[in-house]
Amino acid sequence: MTEATTTATPTAYLLTVRGIVQGVGFRPFVWRLATDCHVTGSVRNGCTGVEIRIEGEPTATASFIDRLPREAPPLSRIDSFEVESTLATRAESFTIEASNRASVVTIRPSVDLPICDACLAELFDPSDRRYRYPFLNCTNCGPRYSIIDHMPYDRTSTVMSSFELCSQCRNEYKSPSDRRYHAQPTACPACGPAAWLEGDEEPTTDTIDVVNHAAQLVLAGKILAVKGLGGFHLACDATNNDAVMRLRQRKRRPDKPLAIMVPSLEAARHLADINDAAASALLDSSRPIVVVPTRADNCLARSVAPGHDTVGIMIAYTPLHHLLLHDCGRALVMTSGNPAGAPICATNDEAREALGAIADCLLLHNRQIRRRCDDGIVLAAHVGAPTVVVRRARGSVPQRVSLPTATDVPRLAVGGQQKSTIAFAINDQAYLSTHLGDLDHPAARRWFDETIGDFGKLLNVTPAAVACDLHPDYASTRWAEQSGLPIERVQHHHAHFAGVLAEHGYRDRALGLMLDGTGWGTDGTIWGGELLCGDSADSTRVGWLRPFMLPGGETAIVEPWRMLVSVLHEADCYNAELFPAAVRNAARQLHDMIPQIRYPIRTSSTGRLWDAIGVLLTGRTRTTYDAQAAIELEQLAMAGTPTAEESSSAAVTGEIDWRPLVAELVSRYRRGEDRSQLARWWHDRFATLVVSAATAARSATGLSTIALSGGVMMNRLLVARLVGQLSKQSFAVLQHRAVPPNDGGLAYGQLVATIARSALCV
């Protein structure tokens, strides 16, 4: 409480601040500002935002109103700031009052935050009472989204309600001048959560010592399951090749690169080449995994990212992680704690059951994780290509993404089948869920169902309509059909297209180059290499890759040699000697069968075309993770040198014929040209081919703005070439900023499209 002097005729105002203003130190900020401006009154968390009442001399209240939005806490985000005159009550002080729970909650929750510098200093200060305490936090850091039961955000509304504050913590919690004032997860060793180790022959239960004990096990080559902020990690020594290989074997993840965790940006620079954009991404408050080029002299085990000249690095974001890294003194593998295909484990019992056969020991604690949230992934900027969000997850959810047009009613979008996310539209904001995985897995489908209910409850929204993909067999589409809500179906590639336009606030007509794996087309065939023309509401296909057969359907994704058979057959340059010996006979048999297939499945998929070229140039005949052959093709191309730009003779709208490129590539390959150079040639020439088609579409439509999206747009080498050539042709190029170009962005695009269509009907 602070004392302030008021005039005989004070001015008084009611202020309502909406946005991200709870869980970010907003009320103590207001208290300090009121003290500095010499105004009286009160502040409290309301159900629509932060409610403030001030009164004092006119110059004092004017100063308060002017400074509040300019000096708001860095973690806050003010969406609206309303000021209304009221009658003065001659309050004698400024107070922080209890939250108002009387009306409907429309305030939105904050994201989980990484440990701040002040708490990190305390963590390693032997004189501090929270020395080496794995769960210390303050108003500026710690869990939010992962521990909230409901809004408003108070301790009683979180999982921390079961931990009664000790007298010292209570004094900090109640003091507006303390940085732990109303830090809802605050705790100390005397009153807070505790950690323990299970599975070791000498179990340790002392919270202060348990992390050091776990570190010694990791240094001895053990695999550790670690309960973190939004779920479990599987950890091991990233410099121990044997330990990493055991982790791969037990998790059944033979090839896909593993993420590593380091304590600081400086530590990351010892392992990888970190440019300014990568550094900014690593230090972002979401602390994502950032894929960056490795240094030749790094000390990482070769099995961390086999065959890759990049590595996924994240900086530690919890006190527990920092302690573990400090005690190990080296980088650690920190990969998602889940069996292959299943969601990340979030409870101790889940971890015991699902990770017990993978990890040697489990580092557990008793702070509940209310909603699981995996680590986000970002591709660092490459020459000519921007930073790309691959996966929105912990630290980014539930951040809003703006919509260009406000929705008339609350809406839900359920995305696609792979890289599933859901999203709600409320007014002019979209709220995207965390990455939910692939809905082929039963556990992922259960999580999908749970998230729709939980996310809607947390946001206090009941949708009036649901948007989904056209594909009839997607689990998300079936959910929409069974929801009882009015359904609005959005074609897969149009959703990608609408999403890019919306991120830029672009409302006019444009061209869209959508390159991805597969998506159900409006004609009932499988699309994946599309040139669109339209706006957020609707679009038409003005160009597409020449379709080719998809032999074996989904099997061809796991066995991409089938795609090479199809592509070579279509290009009339099949030769059995182009196939690795292990699949040569099977390839010959499939090729002989093609003319006999009465009802072939055909596709214009860029992803499947690139799989085929990946098999030819890398020898990859079977994949163990999504787009492996295409990713390895990009890695191979990185070693090649850029080729001279050439014009394409395919400057026509309609079908984009890739067959001459394949025929020339095969001819060069059979002459024995360097494979990395051929991979680079393919990237460059394919870019030229589709840019030529875009140029022809511009001539036909008069449109010179083009949006790029689809999973293939995560190929930084291809994107750099595309953007370079399109820019030289005077196109204005739009790319994703906050939403993934892969299917993780579909739900956002579905919302944009349905809102745009609704606006046309008004």
Sheet of 195-198, strands arranged across: 195-198, 361-365, 224-227, 232-237, 332-336, 260-262, 310-315, 289-293, 377-379, 388-391
Average pLDDT of span 345-357: 96
> Is 525 found in the same domain as 407?
no
Segments forming the whole domain that contains residue 74: 2-96
pLDDT tens digits along 410-441:
999 999 999 999 999 999 999 999 999 999 99
3-class DSSP state for residue 737?
coil
Tell me the HSE value of 518 on the side-chain side, using a 13 A CA sphere: 23
Q: Is 574 inside any structural domain?
A: yes
Tell me the per-residue pLDDT of 128-168, one tens digit each, with 9 for 90 and over: 999 999 999 999 999 999 999 988 788 999 999 999 999 99
pLDDT single digits (tens) 109-127: 789 999 999 999 999 999 9
Burial track 183-197 (b if 16+ CB lie within 10 A, e otherwise): bbbbbbbeebbbbbb
Alpha-carbon Rg of the chain, whole angstroms? 28
Higher-confidence position of 232 and 460: 232
d(CA 626, CA 557): 8
Assess whether 544 and 635 both reside in one domain.
Answer: yes
Number of neighbouring beta carbons within 10 Å of residue 638: 17
573 and 608 within one domain: yes
Q: What are phi and psi of 285, to 5 degrees?
A: -60, -20
Give yes or no for residue 761 having a pLDDT over 80.
no
Helix/strand/coil percentages in the chain, nearest 5: 35, 20, 45
* Cis, peptide link before residue 398, omega less than 30° from 0: yes
Task: Based on the fold, state whether residues 459 and 521 are members of the same structural domain.
Answer: no
pLDDT band at 4 (very low <50, low <70, confident <90, very high): very low
- Residues of the chain with pLDDT > 70, as a percent, come to 95
HSE-CB for 633 with a 13 A CA cutoff: 31
Is 65 a domain residue? yes
Q: Are residues 333 and 452 in the same domain?
A: no
- Residue 680 and residue 620 share a domain: yes
Residue 106: pLDDT band by 50, 70, 90 thresholds? low
pLDDT tens string 548-604: 999 988 899 999 999 999 999 999 999 999 999 999 999 999 999 999 888 889 999
Q: Which tokens is 347 given? A: 């409870």
Question: Token digits for 426?
Answer: 């409320």
Distance CA 490, CA 7 (A): 61
**pLDDT of 103:** 45
For residue 379, the SS3 value is: strand
Query: Which of 419, 287, 395 shows the shortest CA–CA distance to 748?
Result: 419
Q: What are 471-496's pLDDT values in tens digits? A: 999 999 999 999 999 999 999 999 99
Asked if residue 68 is part of any domain, the answer here is yes
Specify whether the CB–CB gap between 275 and 265 falls below 8 A: no
Query: What is residue 177's predicted lDDT score, i.e. its pLDDT?
Result: 84
Q: What is the mean pLDDT of residues 512-539?
A: 96
Say what the pLDDT of residue 651 is.
59
Asked if residues 530 and 541 have their Cβ atoms less than 8 Å apart, the reply is yes
CATH number at residue 373: 3.90.870.40
SS3 468: strand
Both 515 and 500 in a single domain?
no
Q: Read off the pLDDT band of 48 (50, 70, 90).
A: confident
> Which pLDDT score is estimated for 182?
87
Kindly state whether residues 530 and 446 are assigned to the same domain.
Answer: no
Contact 720, 710 (CB under 8 A): no
Closest CA relative to residue 184, chosen from 166, 145, 158 = 158
Confidence (pLDDT) at 210: 94
The more confidently predicted of residues 326 and 384 is 326
In a domain, 591, yes or no: yes
Domain for residue 106, yes or no?
no
Asked if pLDDT for residue 304 goes beyond 50, the answer is: yes
Same domain for 335 and 259: yes
Would 465 be classed as within a structural domain? yes
Q: What is the pTM of this model?
A: 0.91
Could you report the per-residue pLDDT of 493-525, keeping only the tens digit for each? 999 999 999 999 999 999 999 999 999 999 999
Q: Are strands 510-520 and 195-198 parallel, antiparallel or unpaired?
A: unpaired
* Whether residue 568 sits in one domain with residue 712: yes
Predicted local distance difference test score (pLDDT) of residue 150: 86
Do 622 and 710 fall within a single domain?
A: yes
Residue 559 belongs to a domain with what CATH number?
A: 3.30.420.40
Predicted pLDDT of residue 89: 87
Tokens encoding 133: 């305490």
Last residue of a domain, one of 96, 123, 142: 96
pLDDT band at 6 (very low <50, low <70, confident <90, very high): very low
Residues 592 and 714 in one domain: yes
The CA–CA distances, whole Å, from 612 to 550, 556, 559, 715 equal 11, 10, 10, 16
CATH number reported for the structural domain that contains residue 412 in this entry: 3.30.420.360
Average pLDDT over residues 742-752: 98
At which of 96, 112, 143 does a domain end? 96
The whole-chain average pLDDT of the chain stands at 93
Examine the pLDDT at 311 and tell me if it is beyond 90. yes
Sign of CA dihedral 136, 431, 257, 309: negative
Rounded mean pLDDT of 461-470? 97
Residue 149 resides in a domain: no
pLDDT at position 101 over 80:
no
Number of domains within the chain: 4
How many angstroms separate the CA atoms of 169 and 173, rounded? 6
> Above 50 in pLDDT, residue 705?
yes
pLDDT of residue 3: 45
Assess if residue 110 is contained within a domain.
no
> DSSP letters along 478-524, please?
HHHHHS-SPEEEE-HHHHHHHHHHHHTT--S-EEEEEEEEEEE-TTS
pLDDT per position as a tens digit, 643-688:
887 766 555 679 999 999 999 999 999 999 999 999 999 999 999 9
